[in-house]
């Protein structure tokens, strides 16, 4: 999403200073403010809306996926962004913001780097660290992929989701044992 609370300007500055390339897709409420910065920088490319299969292709072709979210925004603290799980699925390391739930996941899995939101120097160091160590990128990505396979793909999550709903709904009466109704 093209929004001020996604750290795009910090990420752009870090990419400009390290020689990294930032590829941004999508739309959002702050396009009029943020797009001129993205479109005027040789370090970035704005794609607009892209089909989901292209999102996955580009994620798989990337070196790292940035998932920066301002922790002052309540929704950001608790969100589980698809892009993080897509990065894990594609074995790509993640750079994310401290103070959000996804940071705890990235730390526990060991699939990326956590930086303070808004700290351009820390973001630049994280990019440099990953750019200078392709072997470490591979290790981080492999840990993310292993975690995705063991706990975050549908095959793994289906039984957990059904059990959670079962707990919420309580025990079900056997078919035909209760009063019938016609609606």
* pLDDT reported for residue 83: 96
Is residue 68 a contact partner of residue 7, using CB atoms and an 8 Å limit?
yes
Average pLDDT over residues 39-58: 96
Q: Which domains does the chain have, with CATH numbers?
A: 4-165 (3.40.50.2000)
Is pLDDT above 70 for 18? yes
* pLDDT reported for residue 157: 80
Which residues are registered as beta bridge partners of 97? 115
Q: 7 Cβ partners below 8 Å, 6+ apart?
A: 66, 68, 69, 70, 97, 117, 118, 123
Is pLDDT above 80 for 172? no
Distances (CA, A) of 151 to 17, 56, 68: 36, 19, 23
pLDDT band of 23, cuts 50, 70, 90:
very high
pTM: 0.85
Tens of pLDDT, residue by residue over 85-139, are 999 999 999 999 999 999 999 999 999 999 999 999 999 999 999 999 999 999 9
Q: In angstroms, rounded to a whole number, what is the distance separating the alpha carbons of residues 8 and 34? A: 8
DSSP type of residue 5: G
pLDDT band of 39, cuts 50, 70, 90:
very high
């Amino acid at each position: 999403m093209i929004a001020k609370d996604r750290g795009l300007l910090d990420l752009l500055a870090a990419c400009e200073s390290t020689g990294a390339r930032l590829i941004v897709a999508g739309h959002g409420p702050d396009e009029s403010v943020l797009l001129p910065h993205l479109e005027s920088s040789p370090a970035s490319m704005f794609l607009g809306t892209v089909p989901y299969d292209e999102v996955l292709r580009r994620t798989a072709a990337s070196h790292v996926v940035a998932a920066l979210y301002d922790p002052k925004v309540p929704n950001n603290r608790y969100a589980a962004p698809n892009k993080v799980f897509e990065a894990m699925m594609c074995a790509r390391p993640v750079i994310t913001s401290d103070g959000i739930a996804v940071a705890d996941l990235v730390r526990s899995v060991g699939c990326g780097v956590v930086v303070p939101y808004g700290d351009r120097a820390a973001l630049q160091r994280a990019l440099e660290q990953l750019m200078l160590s392709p072997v470490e990128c591979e290790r981080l990505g492999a840990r993310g992929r292993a975690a995705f396979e063991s706990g975050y793909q549908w095959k793994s999550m289906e039984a957990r989701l059904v059990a959670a709903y079962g707990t919420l709904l309580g025990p079900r009466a056997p078919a035909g044992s209760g009063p019938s109704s016609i609606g």
